Chains A and B, each alone.
Chain A
């Protein structure tokens, strides 16, 4: 009996003649996530992906494959010869394994005969296998309506037996929808936003703003740690670290105090766009959610949005904070995000930030500054860090 992992994809299956492009991307990413475990066989067979896991740590492989966008679920599976003797044995072994893990009292068998030359029909298979299990186990009953466990038996080129369908994240394979530059702070929101867009197939690069020495070096370490977590889903990430302090000093000196945040935000967008264009990215991503803070009112968002021409994706726009936190916990960025280090937004925080900025007024304040020059200087002095998954 061979142990394999079956991975299912969702939306990709609906693609027409482009399907092979998506599937190849998907296989590439699965292989990439498994690369440092050794050379593993990853194959696309009849609309499913089969990963050989015989000599590997099953939990680890599952975690890695689950993180490949495009996959909707995975099942650890026995792959066996398709004769009844082997099928009986495989079914029994599998069910006994599950019974050791948890207290299972009821089950049913769901068989599917893909190979129509197989001598038993699907209902016959269910009956035969179910009967065999009943006569070889104790305290186990069949319940066809609400079983605690469903044993799937799939007859294809071989027989495949599994009982768990572990949900993955869905979405589309990375790189099938271009590339975007995310404005990555150290907070809870922006990593979630990046993750959501990556899930829709976008490659990710990031720009981080700090105000060193007004912010701590540890704030940068935190962002690097967050990017490393994202790497597990998004592949390697180029992180551009830009010091916003010279710009903030200029704004502080030449513009009204209450406009500090909104003007800084506009600069962040413009700098991000400049880097995005250099890096051939097609869009920006922010973690903005409407109404969350003073700069994320509709007026605030309008003024920020006006600063750039590239499309700006704000996948969190309609999410409540608790929903965002739930996702952050699910993807494992939450604990890192709540480490207490100030990002650059809080240093110059005005006492009463303007919540309903008017574009004309902001533009007129901005005209006191040498915008292009400041942006160029910021981009020239930025630091670029290549983030990749740490090898264990």
Chain B
């Protein structure tokens, strides 16, 4: 039995997504900038895909720019927005994705002042501290909506309201890569100017993402070329990716249903683990305040990576920390920011669900986790 519980790392593309990608490579291969029919036809399909994403996100078509994925969306938002602002101060959080943190590292070298807001033991930012750091010279506020490692939801709407009251309102960017399709929101309701999404986290293809840019917000391109995407993102359109992303977005029209499936899977999983295994810790919130598709659990006395490989032998795929940082053998900066102890960080595993997972899979996973944790604890007496 294969049980894929690493859906925050990436998801399996839906069949309809695969089909449209094949068609875009075999039949609709024209360049959307071409003057002839083969180009126009593809241009129309891209328009259609843009509409689908706008609909799923609750925004206007013109507010969507296609990018190569979450990392580029985040880079474009942060760097592109700063080019239009004089201020040199940025506010963000300690638990951002590595792709964002390295942008700040670079900006700090270039003379920017970056404030990293602390999080509590659940991974939620300290809003008071945020308020205290507000000043008129802030160019940009950027934070993630749902944390990719623990699933904690940040109070974006609250932050949006605070910022809206300011006279010199900074640009507000939100990394929604983990929340799009998992939580119901619209950028407008959150009070967000820029918002990043990624295709492969919602059963779409890799190498495609989008940036929502609120009307009247100006950002500059971060690289130059043939002025596609209204000049903000040059380069011949990634047609297979765009069409695939559009197709993946259509599934999210009835998001409530998907969310309730996710929530029931996660609830069942956590309940199972709590009933069956002792000496565990749920990292982040269990239910309220946490995304419905991520459960981060520490198995004390067990090394996360060893458990990961053990589960893999039974066809169960999970992550330690986040997939990106597990390549380096460094400890999760998110769990550290949450003040977790050594053993809790070492034994942490992230389970992330998809609406394609089934109750049977969840029960199977719980049973196998129980078995392996028991065995591993026996071996590693220390």
Q: Which residues of A contact B (CB under 8 A)?
A: 212-217, 249, 252-253, 257, 340, 342, 347, 351
A340 lies within 8 A of B379 (CB): no
Name the residue on B nearest A253 (C-beta): B379
A213 and B313 CA atoms in complex are apart in Å by: 8
User: Which B residues fall within an 8 A CB radius of A?
Assistant: 305-306, 308-310, 312-313, 327-329, 379, 381-382
A351 CA to B308 CA, complexed, in Å: 24
- Extra pairs beyond A212-B309, A252-B379, A342-B329 (18, CB < 8 Å): A213-B306, A213-B308, A213-B309, A213-B310, A213-B312, A213-B313, A214-B306, A214-B309, A215-B309, A216-B305, A216-B309, A217-B309, A249-B379, A252-B381, A253-B379, A257-B382, A340-B327, A340-B328
The 9 closest A-B pairs by CB, nearest first: A213-B309, A213-B310, A340-B329, A214-B306, A213-B313, A252-B379, A249-B379, A340-B328, A212-B309
Instruction: Give the contacting residue for B382; candidates A215, A217, A253, A351; CB below 8 A.
Output: A351
Residues of A within 8 A of B309 (CB): 212-217
Instruction: Give me 17 A-to-B residue pairs in the complex whose CB atoms sit less than 8 angstroms apart, sorted by A's number.
Output: A212-B309, A213-B306, A213-B308, A213-B309, A213-B310, A213-B312, A213-B313, A214-B309, A215-B309, A249-B379, A252-B379, A252-B381, A257-B382, A340-B328, A340-B329, A342-B329, A347-B306
Across-interface contacts of B308 in A (CB, < 8 A): 213
Q: Which residues of A contact B312 (CB under 8 A)?
A: 213
Chief secondary structure at chain B's binding surface:
helix
Contacts of B382 in A (CB 8 A): 257, 351
**Chain B CB within 10 A, most for which of A213, A249, A340, A342:** A213
Chain B residue nearest to A347 (CB atoms) is B306
A121 CB, min distance to chain B CBs, angstroms = 67
Report Cα–Cα, A340/B305, bound state, in Å.
14
Q: Closest B-chain residue to A350, C-beta based?
A: B382
Residues on A with beta carbons closer than 8 Å to the beta carbon of B310: 213
Across-interface contacts of B305 in A (CB, < 8 A)? 216
Residue of A nearest to B308 (CB): A213
Closest partner residue, chain A, to B313 (CB atom) = A213
A215 neighbours in B (Cβ, 8 Å):
309
Closest to B375 in A: A249
A257 partner residues in chain B, CB cutoff 8 A: 382
CB neighbours (8 Å) of B381 from chain A are 252
- State the CA gap A252–B381 with chains docked (Å): 9
Tell me the bound Cα distance from A371 to B302 in angstroms: 28
Expressed in whole angstroms, the minimum distance between the Cβ of A258 and any Cβ of chain B is 12
Q: Give A347 to B327 CA distance when docked, in angstroms.
A: 17
CA A252 to CA B313, docked complex, whole Å: 22
**A213 vs B310: C-alpha distance in the bound complex, in angstroms?**
5
